[in-house]
């Protein structure tokens, strides 16, 4: 009988003792995973919101984008500034140079050019707000010959105009034209600026 008991014990070895589950550790791992997942979701949500806001801002900027150009209109005997954009152009400053020297108004421009017409009219450029599509004849001559004299003199002497303007959102651009009269490449005339520069009083063009 003793041998039989020994054989039964040998064929049925004792089962290893099972370790108890540490539920606190499991809960901590799950909580960490949930926290990480929440962090990822929050980051993704913030990215989507920021991206959406950027798209909306770009759309708004496009809806209020101004674009100024200046040049001669031979049919009207005038120099004109036109807003070809889709939003108002707020003119912050303007400068007109003849042979590198700033001029305060059209009277001084004409004197510097040696062209003194008998009669001309002018419209305010600085300060002003140009609505989309608005065209401002900043100077217009009553006599065709006076205009031709001015045009020839403006080409002969380097006549430069700078106009700094902003949108209603505060974005600003500098229009700088070294050839106020004649052909120009419009793509090279306008550059974005952080803000319109503060100018010395004796360099500001006011009309």
DSSP string, 38-103: HHHHHHHHHHHHHHHHHHHHHHHHHHT---EEEEEETTTTEEEEEE-SSS-EEEEEEEEEETTEEE
Beta carbons of 114 and 59 less than 8 angstroms apart:
no
Beta carbons of 130 and 91 less than 8 angstroms apart:
yes
pLDDT higher than threshold 90 for residue 187: no
DSSP state of 33: H
Between 26 and 168, name the one with better pLDDT.
168
pLDDT of residue 32: 81
pLDDT of residue 30: 82
Over residues 156-175, the pLDDT tens digits come to 998 999 999 999 999 999 99
Separation CA 92–CA 82 (nearest Å): 15
pLDDT of residue 27: 76
Q: Which two tokens stand for residue 2?
A: 């003793």
State the pairing for strand pair 159-166/172-177. Answer: antiparallel
Give pTM, 2 decimals.
0.72
Mean of the per-residue pLDDT values for the chain? 85
pLDDT of residue 143: 94
pLDDT of residue 8: 55
Residue 183 backbone dihedrals phi, psi, to 5 degrees? -70, 150
pLDDT higher than threshold 90 for residue 85: yes
Q: How many CB atoms lie within 10 A of CB 196?
A: 17
pLDDT bracket for residue 136 (50, 70, 90): very high
pLDDT of residue 31: 79
Over residues 50-74, the pLDDT tens digits come to 766 566 556 555 577 999 999 999 9
- β-pair partners for 80: 71, 137
pLDDT of residue 100: 94
pLDDT bracket for residue 97 (50, 70, 90): very high
- Distant-in-sequence, close-in-space partners of 151: CB < 8 Å, separation ≥ 6: 72, 74, 181
Per-residue three-class SS string for 128-172: EEECCCCEEEEEEECCHHHHHHHHHHHHHCCEEEEEEEECCCCCE
Mean pLDDT of the 183-187 span: 65
Q: Which two tokens stand for residue 27?
A: 């809960």
- Distant-in-sequence, close-in-space partners of 158: CB < 8 Å, separation ≥ 6: 97, 98, 99, 100, 178
Beta carbons of 192 and 90 less than 8 angstroms apart:
no
pLDDT of residue 179: 86
- Distant-in-sequence, close-in-space partners of 135: CB < 8 Å, separation ≥ 6: 80, 81, 82, 83
């Amino acid at each position: 009988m003793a041998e039989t008991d020994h054989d039964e014990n040998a064929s049925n070895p004792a089962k290893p003792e099972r370790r108890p589950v540490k539920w606190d550790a499991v809960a901590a791992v799950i909580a960490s995973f949930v926290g990480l997942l929440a962090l990822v979701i929050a980051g993704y949500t913030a990215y989507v919101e920021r991206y959406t806001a950027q798209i909306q801002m770009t759309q708004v900027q496009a809806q209020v984008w101004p674009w100024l150009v200046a040049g001669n209109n031979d049919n009207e005997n005038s120099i004109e500034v036109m807003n070809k954009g889709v939003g108002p152009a707020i003119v912050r400053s303007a400068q007109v140079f003849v042979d590198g020297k700033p001029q305060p108004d059209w009277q001084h421009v004409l004197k510097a050019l040696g062209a003194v017409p008998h009669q001309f009219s002018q419209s305010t450029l600085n300060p002003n707000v140009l609505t989309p599509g608005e065209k401002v004849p900043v100077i217009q001559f009553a006599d065709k010959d006076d205009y031709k004299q001015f045009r020839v003199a403006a080409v002969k002497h380097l006549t430069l105009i700078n106009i700094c303007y902003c949108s209603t959102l505060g974005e600003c651009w500098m229009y700088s034209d070294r050839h106020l009269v004649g052909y120009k490449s419009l793509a090279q005339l306008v550059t974005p600026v952080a803000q319109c520069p503060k100018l010395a009083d004796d360099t500001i063009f006011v009309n």
